[in-house]
Chains A and B, each alone.
Chain A
Amino acid sequence: MSPDLFFQYLFAGITYGSIYAIVAIGFNIIYNATGIINFAQGEFVMLGGMISISLLPHLPLPLAIAGAVAATMVIGALIEMVFIRWLESPSVLRMIIITIGISILLRESALHVWGESIRSLPYFFGNEITVLNLGSVHLSPQVLVVIAACAVMVAGLNVFFKGTPIGREMRACAANRTAALLCGISARNMVTLSFMLSAGIGALAGCVMSPITYTQYDSGTSLAIKGFTVAILGGLGNSMAAVSAGILLGVIEAFSVSVLPLAFQDAISITILLIILFVRPHGLFGSSEAARLKDF
């Protein structure tokens, strides 16, 4: 493989990897707050893309994206309030089935609203054929937008969780719900907030990736599986490890295309998921001692 091709694959891998990382962080935020894996996470990404595309004829691009993120956050909050808030300590099996049901409903509603057609936002800078030349590597500026947006989101979340009072309260709830309740933190509101937050970042990722990957009513499902793979790779609940795990998976996938047919690309990431689940269910970066105390 020539060095040019190598870097080309590498950048493609990093682009997809950073999107997977954002989806994985979305999983982690809700998992930390509630112990639930939200199987509808991929649908938030799809909704972000779809809503911004629908808003675009009426609003300038930045406002359309902001509108889409806000709308998806409202949808995320509504989902939590209607389906999850009032359940008293539901079993894991019940929660899995409910969130799968929610993902079907979101997908089917999207199908009825937007139809089966494949849509996309326009490129943020230039168009499909604008190319930045970094040495001998040719990149679309949108690739840099995606990577930058993901980096900003990760940094922003870090500041939010460590620096702001609300972020600290959310972490407190994740660490020990009862103790947080005793300190006067409303755990229920924190759960709603976690759904809003993870819907918001999912939607933003959906907007920035839409020009490259396109958006369709069912594009959420495979993203959710990839995102979950990444969340597991990094260790469930560990958002920062998810970033490195995401980029790792993205790069592996990008290079796999040079060896195997494209049709098997999804199968590869799932095989990685299965292997990780069997061998290191606590993730590549998790500690196996802490994992012994958890239930897999």
Chain B
Amino acid sequence: MRTRNTLALGGLCLLVACIHLLTALTGSQYYLTQLTMSAYYGLVIIGLGTLMGYAGQISIGHAGFFAIGGYLAAALTTRNLEPFLTSPPVRWLEALGMLRAGQDLYGARLITVEPWAACCLAVAAAALIALVIGIPVLKLKGHYLAMATLGFGTIIYRVLLASPYFGEADGISEVPGFPLLPAMGSLGPVVVSGDPGHRVMNYYLACGLLIVGAGLLLNLIESRVGRALRALHSSEEAAEASGVDTARFKLKVFILSAVYAALAGVLLTHFNGGIGPSEASVMKSVRYVALVAVGGMTNLWGTLLMGVGLTFLSLRGVFGTYDDAVFGMILIGVMLFAPGGILSLRHLLRGLLAGARS
């Protein structure tokens, strides 16, 4: 990784810590909850940004992958498996130590999947679906690709709405926390949950994950794969002629971005303690695309900062009832006037300043 990126990532870590100190000093730690959620959404957005900006493939179905992750994790950790204990798949899970026993609200025996196992299963399912969907979908281009991914997202949304297993219109609630590490010595356990006592820890967890995720993507972009992707974006034929296996690279980035989305879905669901069908809606997918576009498609830093920042404002309810309209406006405005993203305007500004000086 280039030193510039390392420095920037270090700066980001510093920023995260500064925000925490600032909220601690001003007694406004409640901001950290929405910041944690924004960081998870940020993970979806940088994954999608890599797909759109570097591989040049649009996806209006990423809320689908987010929902696959979130819903599977939620369903596996809340739905009682006791009636199915004798069926082979459940027995395999038991043999692998993936089940845990508890008691439900009424004291009955509750057998659910361990959160870590549910997380692995959910992310693996998302990756598998991305693979199966990606092979045919990524052969398409332009409008066809946009509509096919939109169609995929809509199918997921409809299936979630129509399945009693996934709670239909109510979604799934009462999802337990996700214990990452047991308590060690004086340190308490590390848990992904919305419990106010864990707020600061979860803030650092989410931001840490986002920084690690961004670091990995930056590494990927600077690597041979990244160069191949950029070649693919500017001209698929030329890339193919230079020996880049375009279909394979596109598929890999598609799966990678789906895994980012699913992981964010799993963790945010544990953090919120539930998930609803609106997370899978087309509007969510469009919003992710809007945030990538605002940040500048080929600008991971722009996507990351704009994505987390605007999501935070939206979650704080700054836009009120105009929430969706604001994102529509942002989408049009950026695409009309600054297709390179908001941060590309600084070049324009610099040019204007230089012109004024001379």
Contact = CB atoms under 8 A, between A and B. Distances in A.
B118 to A, nearest CB: 25
7 contacts: A103-B328, A108-B324, A108-B328, A109-B325, A277-B147, A295-B142, A296-B139
Contacts of A32: none
B161 A271 contact: no
Given A103-B328, A104-B283, A278-B136, 17 more contacts: A91-B339, A92-B141, A92-B143, A94-B335, A97-B58, A98-B336, A100-B60, A100-B289, A104-B325, A108-B322, A112-B321, A232-B144, A274-B136, A274-B148, A277-B144, A278-B139, A296-B141
Nearest to B293: A97
Interface of B: 52, 56, 58, 60, 136-137, 139-144, 146-148, 150-152, 154-155, 158-159, 161-162, 282-283, 286, 289-290, 293, 321-322, 324-325, 327-329, 331-332, 335-336, 339
B147 A267 contact: no
A48 interface: no
Interface stretch (A15-23, A183-191, A258-266): A258-266
Nearest to B149: A274
A278 B147 CA distance: 12
Q: Is the interface of B mostly helix, strand, loop or mixed?
A: helix
B144 A101 contact: no
B283 to A, nearest CB: 8
A99 to B, nearest CB: 9
Interface in A197-250: 221, 225, 228, 232
A21 B49 CA distance: 35
- Interface centre among B147, B158, B161, by most A CB within 10 Å? B147
Contacts of A296: 139-142, 144
A295 B235 CA distance: 13
B14 to A, nearest CB: 34
Q: How large is the interface on A (under 10, 10 to 19, 20 to 34, 35 or more residues)?
A: 35 or more
B58 A93 contact: yes
Contact of B152 (A100, A232, A274): A274
Given A104-B327, A281-B144, A264 B162 contact: yes
A102 interface: yes
A160 interface: no
A101 B332 contact: yes
Interface in A138-183: none
A105 B328 contact: yes
A277 B140 contact: yes
Given A96-B142, A98-B336, A105-B328, A37 B147 contact: yes
A124 interface: no
Nearest to A100: B286
A39 to B, nearest CB: 8
Contact of A104 (B154, B158, B286): B286
- Interface centre among A91, A264, A270, by most B CB within 10 Å? A270
